[in-house]
Structure 1
Amino acid sequence: MVAAEDVLLFVNAATASTGQREFHGDALGQEMSLDFLHEYMLVNYRDLYATTLALGINDHNAVLAIRRLLATGRDATAEQKAAEGALIARRLRELPPPRVFRLFTALRRDGVNNRRTRAVIRDWMASLDSPAYHAVKYRTGFKAGLKHAHIDVGDGELRDFLFGPLERKPYTTPILETWRQAHYNSGALYKLPYTVAEGFAAKHGIKREIFLERIGDRMTPLERLRTGEDALDPLALIDGGAKYGGPPVPWLTRLAVRVLALPLDERAARRAEFTDALRAFAAAEAGKLAGTWGRVTAVLDDSFSSFGSPVKRRRPLAVALACHFLLEALAAQGQYTPLWMSGRDDPLLAYPSGATPLGLRLIDALETAPERIVVVSDGWDNSPPGLAGEVLRVWRTRLDPQQRVDIVHVNPVFDAEALDVRALSPSVPSVGIRDAEDLVPLVELAQFAQGRLGLPELLAYLDGRVRRFLGAD
């Protein structure tokens, strides 16, 4: 049971925390707590630690785990190395290329250059569909990876581009030649990837609005979302994401972040457009599970602490907003009840304000006679303090000891001092969440946090998740 609790503790932290400042805690505390938990898991449960790469932990912690596993290969058996290698290779394919290149740079800085590390770098770089494209877009990281793994690119042009880019002219590879010409011809930069062209545009003194208008066709869906270009056409984003390939992107949560960054007046004026877009993403995410969760009531936190922090601005509120639309899609038709902490009934106009009356909202939720209650909150119950825990205790011990109503608390904020997400009650599972897209597997995992199932059941569950992650099932 201790092992099961330790694994769940780590998964909560590695899902919710990115080592950044939160509303109630600074970045240093987050980093120190994460560092301790990673080291603790690596030393005590190496096999389970590697398995968490298949459990949807966020990209930041996946990179930290991969770094530790590769750096401590001497402590692993041959069987462990084989299992870890498969998980690492699979997770690397899901990571955005910039994170992978930063990982390679960190491994080089740490002096981690064992045979397994070189093989991991070589295999990942060999899997790239267009090495020249990645070399142009991520030149520094690409070159660092090649040098650290002692890889011969085998292409004279690509080698020249990486180590002496302006010494060769012309290039026969189109994108390399376009990059060379963009130094002298401003028209050529519009054929380059957006992030590369952006630097050339600044060099040539091109106005931002003109640049964005002309570069539009070269932008990926995520770049369009970040800049506001065609950000609210969900079908185009989904189709575009498939076109560009790469790792899956949590579009629903990303779009929620984008919507909440807009002024209230603009959100109100474009309410129908935003609602349709978020519902389209939620329906795509729910997939075959749409309408299968029965009567669902959500308790959603839009209190002042949902602002997050200057580096994670409105992130907890965005997770709550995205979960709202996903739960609406998962619930049976017409059987979904959202209860916002503020009492507002228009999710598109949500903004961080007020206290956190979790206990009162839980009473309201229970009165709707749901089959499932999902609480999305940082867990700081303060109006009045402790009422939520008492409501849940009485409900579980006196009114619903058979647990007919399934209650799950998902928390987007990691409490660094407690080394866990802040819980509401010992009788209700609390799990960490980063993106709303992780909600369904987290609800599955929550059953182990209740203590009714132990390590054997958890190991069986993890084995199934790993097999699906690696495509064995």
Structure 2
Amino acid sequence: MDAGTDSGEAAADLIAADDVLLFVNAAITATGQREFHGEAAEQRLSLDFLHSYLLVNYRELYAATLALDINDHNAALIVRRLLESAGEATAAERRTEGRLIARRLEVLPPQRVYRLFGALRSAKVNNRRTRAIMRDWLAARPDQELDAVKYRGALRTALRHAHLPTAEPEVGDFLFRIKRRPHYRAPLLDAWRRAHYEQAALYQLPYTVAEGFAAKHGVPRGEFLERIAPRLTRLERLRLQSSAAGHGADAVRTELTGMPLTRLASYVLGLPIDERVARRDELTRALRAAAARAAGPRRGSWGTVAAVLDDSFSSYGSGAKRRRPLAAALGAHYLLAALAGEYRGYWTSGQQDPLLVRPSGPTPLGRRILDALDGAPQRLVIVSDGWDNAPPGLAGEVLRIWRTRLDPQHRTSVVHLNPVYDAEDFDVRRLAPSVPTAGLRDAEDLPVLAEFAQFAEGRTGLAELRAHLAARVAAFLAQSPREHR
């Protein structure tokens, strides 16, 4: 009887661990947008089910995923659902959730947080904890005047919903009584007022605000970009470089060093092939520097590494996530080269020059895995959406035979990192049961996810997973002492 009970509890623990891992993979990769093999509506429906299921059955673990490398879309959904269901949590859960939520909001982009506050207002979520979290986040914003100009409607909605005063009387008038003052002492607020009728004033505003005024005044695009260049953020410069060059706005050009690896890879893939060739040295230096930063102290510590990288046609992604899977693979290529003592990358297309990869052709994963395993590396990393189709199923069979017959001692560790969510299966697509699979959003997260993937092998129970999550939560909260009751 006792043995049967223990066996049942162990099975329940494995199921619970599998449920949590399923959700984490979705929270890393799914954004509710169209994928190459799936529609946006299917993904939103699938995500909604997973969020509801985890919240009801494993609330503590659901909240703990805020400390993981999940994407901003799912982080905002978790925060919203925790606040909506605050009455269902125990006092201890509310304290931990409050700290996790506050910390996560600190690292979310402000526009995402304001959108979340708007969603809470639409859902009529206005409990005391929600108001306290909104109050503290708004109080910690470094420049309320900038927020008032850049997110005017969203900030106004948040202040009204939480019944909060503004820090400065001028900001309050700007948000709620715009006609009260003929001018403002705050330069940014007054620039916004003057930009309605004075072209010169729009160049004192943030780019996203000034762009609308430039269109209103009929300012030529090239002239606008040239003059607004000093106000651009680093990422805005990166995003606008190609269009600015087409309009002759050379002032927008920026150094690529310092850019995040995956974002830089996306930028490179958006360039025409001939421009990539012409700028080979610059682009290669920037990618290697970004990879070295992402590798950090792990640099050169992974031994011999082989990677199979998917640049098949499906790596294009979709119009909503253009070339995102391929950007993750390209970033992974440079990061793995930085992590490894000895490295070899195998693209599914057979491309030898990573700077020239583009989405094309079928996905012969099985053949490339055979090529990669031929050198008996210490690690094999596969970055692919898992749609093995040339021929179908070969990759899974190769991996099965390798693991069961040729390398049962696990001399070569194999991990599959998948940047694409499969809404139909509520998970990322897997290649073989014997190979751990984890979702991948940004290439920078690869080292952590390769470690996390061990939990996906089906042999790790809930206790080990809880310990891992507890350690991640502690590290995540270390710099955030605030607590909401």
TM-score, structure 1 normalization: 0.95
- Cα offset, 1:277, TM superposition: 1.1
CA displacement at 1:167 relative to structure 2: 3.2
Partners of 1:393 and 1:73 lie apart in 2 by 46
CA distance in 2, matches of 1:53, 1:193: 30
Alpha-carbon shift at residue 472 of structure 1 (Å): 6.5
Distance 1:373 1:127 in 2: 44
Aligned to 1:418: 425
- Determine whether 1:433 maps to 2:440: yes
Q: Which residue of 1 aligns with 2:26?
A: 13
The match for 1:382 is 389
Query: Are the counterparts in 1 of residues 308 and 383 from structure 2 also a CA contact under 8 Å?
Result: yes
What stretches of structure 1 move > 3 A for 4+ residues in a row? 229-232
User: Which of residues 72, 76, 90 is equivalent to 2:103?
Assistant: 90
Q: Secondary structure at the match of 2:416?
A: strand
The match for 1:195 is 208
Q: Are residue 169 (structure 1) and residue 182 (structure 2) matched?
A: yes
Aligned to 1:358: 365
**Whole-Å Cα distance in 2 between the matches of residues 183 and 390 of structure 1?**
65
Q: Give the residue type in structure 1 aligned to 2:256.
A: P
1:307 corresponds to which of 312, 316, 325? 316
1:330 counterpart = 2:336: no
* Structure-1 residue corresponding to 2:284: 275
In structure 1, what residue type is equivalent to 2:400? R
- Indicate if the aligned counterparts of 2:396 and 2:431 stay in contact, CA closer than 8 A: yes
Give the deviation of 1:232 after TM superposition. 5.8
Q: SS state of the match for residue 50, structure 2?
A: helix
Displacement of 1:234 in angstroms is: 3.2
Q: Displacement of 1:18 after TM fit?
A: 0.5
CA distance in 2 between counterparts of 1:401 and 1:154 reads 64
Deviation at 1:353, TM superposition (A): 1.0
From 114, 133, 141, the counterpart of 2:154: 141
Contact 1:9 1:420 in 2 (8 A): yes
Partner of 1:29: 42
- Per-residue deviation, residues 212-250 of structure 1 (Å, max 9, x unmatched): 111111111111111117566233x45xxxxxxxxxxxx
Matches within 5 A, 1:36-51: 36-51=49-64
Q: CA deviation at 1:280?
A: 1.1
Shift of 1:184: 2.2
TM-score by length of 2: 0.92
Tell me, yes or no, if the aligned pair for 2:237 and 2:254 is still in contact at 8 Å. no
Letter of the structure 2 residue corresponding to residue 422 of structure 1: R
Residue in structure 1 matched with residue 273 of structure 2 by the alignment: 264
* Residue number in structure 1 paired with 2:116: 103
Write the deviation string for residues 376-416 of structure 1: whole angstroms up to 9, x where unpaired: 00001111111111111111111111111111100011111
2:145 matches 1:132: yes
The residue number in structure 2 matching 1:54 is: 67
CA 1:154–1:340: 2 relative to 1, 3 Å: closer
Distance of 2:152 and 2:479 partners within structure 1 = 35
Kindly indicate whether residue 370 of structure 2 is the aligned counterpart of residue 370 of structure 1.
no
**What SS does structure 1 have at the residue aligned with 2:380?**
strand
Q: CA RMSD in A?
A: 1.3
Separation in structure 2 between the aligned mates of residue 145 and residue 384 of structure 1, nearest angstrom: 54
- For 2:348 and 2:362, the matched residues in 1 are separated by 8
- CA distance 1:211–1:347, shift in 2 (3 Å): same
State the alpha-carbon separation in 2 of the partners of residues 329 and 55 from structure 1: 23
1:66 partnered with 2:79: yes
Q: Given the alignment, which residue of 275, 285, 293 partners 2:302?
A: 293
Per-residue CA deviations over 1:338-368 (Å, capped at 9, x if unaligned) read 1000101011111111111111111111012
- Deviation, 1:169, is 2.3
**Structure with more relative contact order (C-alpha pairs < 8 Å, separation 6 or more):** 2
Q: Is 1:225–1:258's contact at 8 Å kept on the other side of the alignment?
A: yes
CA distance in structure 2 between the partners assigned to 1:347 and 1:472 by the alignment: 38
Unpaired segments ≥5 residues, structure 1: 239-250
Report if the CA contact (8 A) 1:166-1:180 is conserved.
Answer: no
Cα distance 1:402–1:472, how it changes in 2: closer, same or farther (>3 A)?
A: farther
Aligned partner of residue 82 in structure 2, secondary structure: helix
Matching of residue 79 in structure 1 with residue 95 in structure 2: no
Question: Which residue identity lines up with residue 255 of structure 2 in the other structure?
Answer: D
- Is 1:113 matched up with 2:129? no
Contact kept in structure 1, 2:234 and 2:254, CA below 8 Å: no
Task: Write the letter of the residue equivalent to 1:387.
Answer: L
Q: Matches of 2:223 and 2:153 in 1, distance apart? A: 28
1:120-148 deviations in whole A, cap 9, x for unaligned?
Answer: 11010000011111111111111111011
Report the CA distance between 1:197 and its aligned residue.
1.1
Q: Per the alignment, do residues 23 and 115 of structure 1 end up closer, same or farther by CA in structure 2, a change over 3 Å counting?
A: same
The count of corresponding residues between Structure 1 and Structure 2 is 458
Query: Structure 1 vs Structure 2: percent identity of aligned residues?
Result: 62
Match of residue 246 from structure 1: none
Q: 2:353 aligns with which of 346, 361, 367?
A: 346
241, 245, 255: which one aligns with 1:233:
255
Partner residue, 1:3: 16
| Offset at residue 451 of structure 1 (A) | 2.2
Cα offset, 1:154, TM superposition: 4.2
CA distance in 2, matches of 1:290, 1:225: 27
> Match of 1:312, SS?
coil
Deviations 1:302-352 (A, max 9, x none): 0111111121111111111111111111111xx110100010101111111
Partner amino acid, structure 2, of 1:233: E
CA distance in 1, matches of 2:234, 2:94: 36
Alignment counterpart, residue 183 of structure 1, candidates 188, 196, 218: 196
For the residues of structure 2 that align with 1:470 and 1:355, how far apart are their CA atoms? 44
CA distance 1:175–1:19, change in 2 (3 Å): same
**1:175 to partner: Cα distance:** 1.2
Partners of 2:209 and 2:478 lie apart in 1 by 35
After TM superposition, give the deviation of residue 430 of structure 1 in Å.
Answer: 0.9
Aligned counterparts of 2:440 and 2:230: Cα–Cα separation in 1: 34
Q: What code does the residue aligned with 1:444 have?
A: E
Match of 2:247 in 1: none
Contact 1:20/1:27, CA 8 A, preserved across alignment: yes
Contact 2:238 2:267 in 1 (8 A): yes
SS of match in other structure, 2:425: coil
SS where residue 326 of structure 1 aligns? helix
